[in-house]
Amino acid sequence: MSKVVFTGGGSAGHVVPALPVMEYLIARSWQVVYIGSSSGLEERLVEPLGVAFHSITTGKLRRYWSIDNLFDCFRVPVGVVQAIRILRKEDPDVVFSKGGYVAFPIVVAAWLFRIPVVAHESDVSPGLANRLCFWFVNSLCVNFDSTQASVRRLVVTGTPIRKALLEGNAERGRELLDFREKLPIILVVGGSLGAVRLNRLIRATLDQLTVEFNVVHVCGPGNADATRVNDIRYRQLEYVDDGWGDVLACADVVVSRAGANSVVELLSLSKPNILVPLPATASRGDQIENAEVARSAGYSAVLQEDELNVEMLTRTIREVFSDRSFWRKRLSKFRSKDSLALIISEIERAIANVD
């Protein structure tokens, strides 16, 4: 029986794509362990799988000056020492890293123990934490054909989609949302990171949109508008876990940020979509790159936040809804890879090729 340590964190996007891989291995009697941060985010996401969880001290890897960088210079080495202790105790056959600043200490510790590391990068261009990890990984699984990285082995696997999303049911979604009137549904995913401006824009469109649509707005924790709780054609959801696949299934058009996982999910589910990537001023530009890949392939409409206003957003939503048959025809050409099988193959290969 093989044992694998999973790691990754700092945001849900560095955990969620690993869940289908974990579920698959658990079902086949592999021993699965997760190492994350002490923030509670990773532990909450993996808890339903019942895997052993260890936390370590983490230091965020920033590209800009901050006084916190001085403190994190000490936190990262402490995290490496803690990771060494955990890996010595768990003695895994392989480490699977989903990236984020949580992963770096574990990947370094695995390298010191000569434990093979398989990493996964969702974005077109790898993030800083993954780039630092490249020195220590045996193979890198990537989402996009255009991703480039200086690693020993690079494999285009795509990103696994959660079973709950693939099995989403539109009727269950409508029952969950419980709108009084059966109107077309616009789903807006503001999330938490950089959600404020998008949340503000979508709320400013409500007087126009709710004339013809029901609007579901995932606005992020703590971002609900108390003055809107009684709107009969507007539902605010701070976060959705159970039932998310059903909510997606019943949406006619989705407005979303352009995180790599969100983009892959929308394309895989053939959802007419409008991507509003985080601007370069609020990110490293990865969402702009992800959105451009989807736009250039003809799968998504893209609006740049810096140029966006209420009129443009309202008009684009109406246009995409009116042309949804056209968009579905385009999206039907999207061919997702058997990501789960490809990633499992890389994990097994890494174990088999241990020196």
For domain 164-331, give the CATH superfamily: Glycogen Phosphorylase B; (3.40.50.2000)
Specify the long-range contacts of residues 176-181, CB closer than 8 Å, at least 24 apart.
Answer: 176/243, 176/246, 176/247, 177/214, 177/216, 177/235, 177/247, 177/250, 179/214, 179/232, 179/233, 179/235, 180/232, 181/214, 181/232, 181/233
Q: Does domain 3-161+337-352 have CATH number 3.40.50.2000?
A: yes
Residues of the chain falling short of pLDDT 50: 62, 65
Same fold, 3-161+337-352 and 164-331: yes
Question: How much is the pLDDT for 73?
Answer: 61
Summarised one tens digit per residue, pLDDT across range 77-123 is: 888 999 999 999 999 999 999 988 889 999 999 999 999 999 999 88
- pTM, entire model: 0.88
Question: How much is the pLDDT for 179?
Answer: 94
Would you give the DSSP letter of residue 121?
A: E
Summarised one tens digit per residue, pLDDT across range 28-52 is: 999 999 999 888 788 999 999 999 9
**Residue spans per domain, the chain:** 3-161+337-352, 164-331
53-70: buried (b, 16+ CB within 10 Å) or exposed (e) per residue?
bbbbbbbbbeeeeeeeee
